[in-house]
Amino acid sequence: MKCPRCVQRIHRAAGGCPHCGFTLADADALFGAEDVKLRTLTDAAGLMRREEQRRVESAMHRFNRLFPQLFVAVHTGAFKGVSNLRQFGFWLLNRAVFEDLPVDRLNEAGVLIAIDADAKAAGMSFGYALDAFLEEEDTFLCLSRAHAYWLEGRHADGLVKAIEQLTIILKKRSRQVRRDPERFERKVTRPPQVDALVQKIRGGRKVEKEEAPKDREVSP
């Protein structure tokens, strides 16, 4: 888990980045504090023709069909050379209201691919539901699959490839989590607090002390 601004590691349930103090409020200051309505495929930068958009949409539908809890969204835009893709992805997944999604699919289960047409950069963000199952390396692998196509300006092809790669990774994770769910759960649940451990140890000793007199009574 990393901070969208300083890219430093942060601990679970951090209210703000311990390194740079970043929170959602900072992203709101950049992009707006109100919710935004948009579709799961929003080509604001105009990188794709209608036919290409259809291909991307069908790839997104395939993904949504295979993973009934999840969804994938794509947003292209021009950020005027300011590379805020991490912050933008973080902000959009928290502020977006996707009109074409069924109500049972919350933003927690979303994967967002954002493309900055000006800076020629792309980023991937995901919701809390995928915290345990997706690593940064996985998202890099997906973007790498699309890299060659994006270099040639074939944005739709690249997006389809990225979604296909994401599908492969998540299928694998789904099988793994079925076999060993605890391994994934450990990644997101809080480690036992030190105070609780101490109390437990002390409580154990108390029990032993309480039980000891009984033994003495029994013994002659």
Partner 1 sequence: MRRRFLIAWLTISSLQAANVEPSLPSWDDADRAAVKAGKWLPGSSLLTDEVPADEPPVEKQEPLPGPTPEELAVEQTPPTQIPDKYLGAYFNERPTSFLIDPQKLLTSQQYRDRLSFLEYHATDSSIDLFVYVFGMAQDIPGEVRAEELTERLYSSGRPAAVVYYFLGAPQRSVIYLSPSLTDTVSGAEQKRALQSSVIKSLEKADSVDQLEAFSVQMSIRLYWMERMLSGATVPEAVTSDHEAVKAVASPGMMERLNKNLPPRWWLPVSVILGTMLVAFGMNAWLRYRARYRFPDFEVEPRLGGSHAAGIGAVISFANASVPPALQREQVPDYLRRA
The answer to whether 60 contacts partner 1 (rule: CB under 8 A) is: no
Rule CB under 8 A: is residue 98 a binding residue for partner 1?
no
Q: How far is the CB of 206 from partner 1 (least distance, A)?
A: 30
If binding is defined by CB under 8 A, does position 100 make contact with partner 1? no
In sequence order, the 6+-apart residues with CB closer than 8 A to the CB of 180 are none
Measured from the CB atom, the residue of 41 and 92 that comes closer to partner 1 is 92
- Examine residue 47 and tell whether it contacts partner 1 (CB under 8 A): no
- Taking every pair of Cα atoms in the chain, the longest distance, rounded to a whole number of angstroms, is 93
Which residue from 48, 59, 74, 129 is in contact with partner 1, where contact means CB under 8 A?
A: 129
Short-list 73, 71, 80, 57, CA closest to 156: 57
The least CB distance from residue 92 to partner 1, in Å, is 9
Q: Residues of 189-204 as b/e, b for ≥16 C-beta within 10 angstroms?
A: eeeeeeeeeeeeeeee
Nearer to partner 1, 25 or 218 (CB): 25
By CB under 8 A, the residues from 1 to 20 that bind partner 1 are: 1-8, 10, 12-17, 20
Q: Please say whether the dihedral angle defined by the alpha carbons of residues 89, 95, 96 and 102, taken in this order, is positive or negative.
A: positive
- Compute the half-sphere exposure of residue 109: CA atoms within 13 Å on the CB side of its CA: 14
According to the binding rule CB under 8 A, does residue 38 interact with partner 1?
no
Site for partner 1 in 141-200 (CB under 8 A): 143-144, 147, 150-151, 170-171, 173-175, 177, 181, 184-185, 188-190
Q: Give the binding range for partner 1 (CB under 8 A) out of 36-44, 52-60, 89-97, 203-211.
A: 89-97
The residue assigned the tokens 């699959």 is 145
- Answer whether 162's CB lies under 8 Å from 145's CB: yes
41 close to 73: Cβ distance less than 8 angstroms = yes
Taking the complex as a whole, how short is the minimal distance between the CB of residue 69 and partner 1, in angstroms? 6
3-state secondary structure at position 75: strand
202 counts as binding partner 1 under rule CB under 8 A: no
